[in-house]
Amino acid sequence: MENAIEVIRLESHYGDREVLKDVTVAMPQGKITTIVGKSGSGKSTLLKHLIGLLKPTQGEILISGKDIAVLREEELDEVRKKMGVLFQGAALLNSLSVSDNVALPIREHTRLNESTIHIMVHMKLDLVGLSGFENFYPSQLSGGMRKRAGLARAMALDPEFLFFDEPSSGLDPVTAAGLDKLILKLRDVFKITIVVVTHELPSLFMISDHVIMIDSGEAIFSGTLDELKKADDPRIKMFLERRPEEEAYSPDDYLRVITGD
């Protein structure tokens, strides 16, 4: 399977603190890759590197074969035009209507006339189930609707890559499941390469084609969902079985982790 994104020996620091340690992973083209791990593991930091918000201490980040870690800012901006990002809080501008929020990247990066922009905005809102809410403001929407509006904006320029940071955060189970189905629809209809950072097990099991697990800054797993379920690493079992950390390891488990056996 062809890879759309490759991360090679990535290391990252916040000051003197090492956050990512020699991470080498790949994300297949046209599939959904979920990045999972417990809080503070480094998964959101990895996402920030993938979208060019952070520069690594060392390593390569290849997107369509181009190392974005060494690009100049104007070159990186060209790559970012192929990306759509849904941040955890949707990051809508409260002073703008839903339609103006979605239109913002189109107005910023194209010279299309307003009538064409209006049609594009309507299409994106219809895609995410928000047709008729063009003139609403973010404060008038529910949490799930704000996420969908943020997704419509992320889709505004028809990206090749779509990134989600904890899309189900703060949503009830029914609304979260609806968002998961929408993510699957985007993959199937548009063949977009999708990367989702999540700690939600229902989402992990519902949408994943490929899974990367980060633990204490290290990539301890990269493979299919079926392979993840069969993995015998006690850290993976702890996460999938929702076991508290103090119960996660037997003495034999600790020895296997420490010695690498």
List pLDDT tens digits, range 156-176.
999 999 999 999 888 899 999
My answer on whether 198 and 218 are in the same domain is: yes
Q: What are phi and psi of 12, to 5 degrees?
A: -145, 145
What span, in angstroms and rounded, lies between the C-alpha atoms of 192 and 170? 25
List pLDDT tens digits, range 16-29.
889 999 999 999 99
My answer on whether 197 and 74 are in the same domain is: yes
My answer on whether 1 and 70 are in the same domain is: yes
List pLDDT tens digits, range 35-51.
999 888 899 999 999 99
My answer on whether 54 and 93 are in the same domain is: no
My answer on whether 31 and 68 are in the same domain is: yes
pLDDT of residue 124: 95
Q: Is residue 182 a part of any domain in this protein?
A: no
My answer on whether 196 and 69 are in the same domain is: yes
Q: Is residue 174 a part of any domain in this protein?
A: no
My answer on whether 244 and 216 are in the same domain is: no
Q: Is residue 177 a part of any domain in this protein?
A: no
My answer on whether 16 and 64 are in the same domain is: yes
Question: In the chain, how many domains are there?
Answer: 3
What span, in angstroms and rounded, lies between the C-alpha atoms of 151 and 39? 24
How much is the pTM?
Answer: 0.89
User: In terms of residue numbers, what domain contains 108?
Assistant: 86-158
Contact between 156 and 84 (Cβ < 8 Å): yes
CATH number where 210 lies = 3.40.50.300
Q: Is residue 102 a part of any domain in this protein?
A: yes
pLDDT of residue 89: 77
My answer on whether 60 and 77 are in the same domain is: yes
